[in-house]
Amino acid sequence: MNFFRRLFKIGEAEAHSAIDKMEDPIKMTEQGIRDMKTDLEKSLEALAQVKTLAIRAKNDTEEYASKAEDYQQKAMLILKKAQKGDMDSTEADRLAKEALIKKEESQQHQTRSQGESEKFNTSVAQLEKSIQEIKQNISKWENELKTLKARVKVSTATKNVNKQMAEIDSSSTVSMLERMKDKVNQEEALAEAYGDIANSSKSIDEELDKAVDVTKANADDDLAKLKEQLGMSDDKE
């Protein structure tokens, strides 16, 4: 039973740890920014592809319009030649009819390409709007992330300072300071006592030297010995 209870406690602790990590606002914001940048890259790729299709549709529209105009001109020239007698009228009618059929086909292609071009242009506008929104959101979230990181630094520093202040025991600190003061006072008094002893010993030596002039006594002895060697008498009768 205790074994399973311990396993449950370990699993519970890991679950709380996972939740704490999931709820880390800085990590979540950073991940959100990374996701938005990925979306931005995909949107830019899609925009480039749709723009390519829009450009091709526009070029096709212009090309089919030019062809339709060309077939119209050819049909008119053929009919004019038949009118002048430069071409058989039956053949001219056949060719002119074929030219008009080609013109109609080109106009149909032109209409289709025009519709595709309009659809692609609409998609381009929507993608550009989405891309602009993504860029604005990325900029917004990056600024908020900077502010969030600064706030975390301030709150962490404040928490640490307040924790240190809360852990300070004022009574024990004062007691420690008092003991230090007593120790310093004791050391100062001891130093002063040693100084008095040193001065006292020195004064006694000076008094003894003054009372007994050792140097003069030695000189008198040396003088007496010298006179004795010279045979000089120092008797005074």
Please, which pLDDT band fits residue 179 given cuts at 50, 70 and 90? confident
pLDDT at 58: 94
139-177 pLDDT per residue, tens: 988 898 888 888 888 888 888 887 777 666 556 666 777
φ, ψ (nearest 5 deg) of residue 136:
-65, -40
Amino acid identity at 20: D
45-76 pLDDT per residue, tens: 999 999 999 999 999 999 999 999 999 999 99
Amino acid identity at 167: E
- Name the percent of the chain lying above pLDDT 90: 38
Residue 131, C-beta contacts closer than 8 angstroms, at least 6 positions apart:
40, 43, 44, 47
CA 202 – CA 210 distance, rounded (Å): 12
* Average pLDDT value over all residues in the chain: 80
Q: Which pTM does this prediction carry?
A: 0.52
Give me the torsion for CA of 166, 169, 170, 171, rounded to 10°.
150
Amino acid identity at 99: A
φ, ψ (nearest 5 deg) of residue 172:
-70, -35
Q: What is the DSSP letter of 56?
A: H
pLDDT at 20: 52
CA atoms within 13 A on the CB side of 28: 9
Which position has the higher pLDDT, 50 or 23?
A: 50
Is 219 exposed, middle or buried (CB count within 10 Å of its CB: 0-12, 13-18, 19+)? Answer: exposed
Chain Cα centroid distance, residue 224: 100
pLDDT at 118: 93
